[in-house]
Structure 1
Amino acid sequence: MDVKLGRVVITGAAGNIGPTVRSGLREDADHIVLVDTADVEAEGEQESAVKAAVGDRGALVEAFSGADSVVHLAGVADEAPFDDLLDANVRGTLNVLEAARRAEVPRVVLFSSNRVTGNYPIHHHVFPDEPPRPDGLYGVTKVAAEALGQMYADTFGLQVVALRVGSFEERPTETRHLATWLSPRDCVGFVRAALTAPNVNFTAAYAVSGNARRFWDLSAGENELGYRPVDDAARYAADFPDDDPFWHGGPQGGDFAGPDAVLPHLRE
């Protein structure tokens, strides 16, 4: 793909998805800025590392200076006490968007989550423009993060893509992943498309591999971003029982949904 990405900033570069995105963008980026609270080692002159938290808006403005885009991965990625989620996923996203505005970065790719709609039943095919039905406090904060992205697009003209990421794994490790798996290859494909798609205002798209059993619609990714996923968890179906209780009905979030998943964090 002969597309130059310019200068790209990755927040949360040391996290679970960061190394995959970093390596996948390296070939076509002029420079990659790696932002994390953990130590990250830059490789060669094409990369630089900045130790900063998403709570430090001033440090973000400085790190974003001269960037063409920001890929925002940093945050708390599962159920947690609400104050922690609020600080990392809502205030952190606000700081990233505001720093991008101040640094005049034209595009931000937000890593949202499929769990903004995790309380839809598994038999329902969900389109990105349907009302959110978060499966827990984590999902609620991702709904808020998407709303911030929409506001910054509408109010300030920032180009924002919210990728509702599926279950990012090298290969499926549980039955639910036959529907929700996002392969590393498709993850990079969605990010590259989100960075290069023309005519973006605000787009929310499910970032999930082309799994035969998926319950999320892929048309936004294909039509608005120009990416069609290439992997399918069906090739791993023999690893899991066909009669798994997950397929009998219930929320798409599976074990992430329901009182047992949420109540422990309401008691903090």
Structure 2
Amino acid sequence: MKAYLFPGQGSQFMGMGKNLYKNSDDAKKLFRLADDVLGFGITSIMFEGSINILKKTKNTQLAIYIYSVIKAKISKNFNPDMVAGHSLGEFSALAAIDVFSFEDGLILVNKRASMMQKICESIHGGMAVIFGLEDSIIEDICKKDKGIIVPSNYNSPEQLVISGEYTALKRVCFSLKKIGAKRIFILPVHGAFHSPIMEPAQKKLKKFIQKFFFKDSKCPIYQNVTAQSFTKSNDIKKNIVEQLTSPVKWKQSIKNMIDHGAISFTEIGPGNILQGLMKKISKNFTKKI
């Protein structure tokens, strides 16, 4: 069985999508449609914008969604038996398998990103990658801290991301280093994604998303919140709302996909972050589109 994976924030790069636009008439139509639906030149930011403009949450999420979905739509080989998306990548995966339209996905991602950006600007949050400690140890240190700090991305057996208030993040990182973390890397983001800090955005998205029609999925999607597979539209909609404040259970999702018959994994989107994680989780990764 063939599985397809869609990346989230962090996989963007300057000039992303420019070659797709030049070399495919179908891609060109979708890029132009994205500008029309959004009412501004997201393609100009993708093709010509500086990295500082592109890395703003409100631009990054749209750029990755657009790039990933277009890659899937123009690919002759995209015929998945199952899919998964890392954080934002869930929206890309759902549009690629027609749970909602490309246009509706643009509106949803734009709303999600804008709400998250506002929280990033009002609350000093952060995220850090922890290498070389067991999940239970990191979880325990986070629980003991007096601030808002939680595990946010279970990326691989060797890597767990934590997220929360910046002061709490610094305290927990110091404690984890003292007890033997091999490496700690504070991510260049200003938001505490997948943490309770995102609760105001979650509440707004829950209300906003009710306006949109979701179809049942034609293949299972393994969603971040539980790492289990879903096909029913109501379940899928509920899970992508809950995802905003819940950890991304990525390594658990991949394990479940393998247990349920996946023998090859293909990443669709910019960058190669998921390829790197896949090498730590399984040897089944085959290629990149």
The TM-score, its normalising length taken from structure 2, stands at 0.28
Q: Which has the higher contact order (CA 8 A, sep 6+)?
A: 2
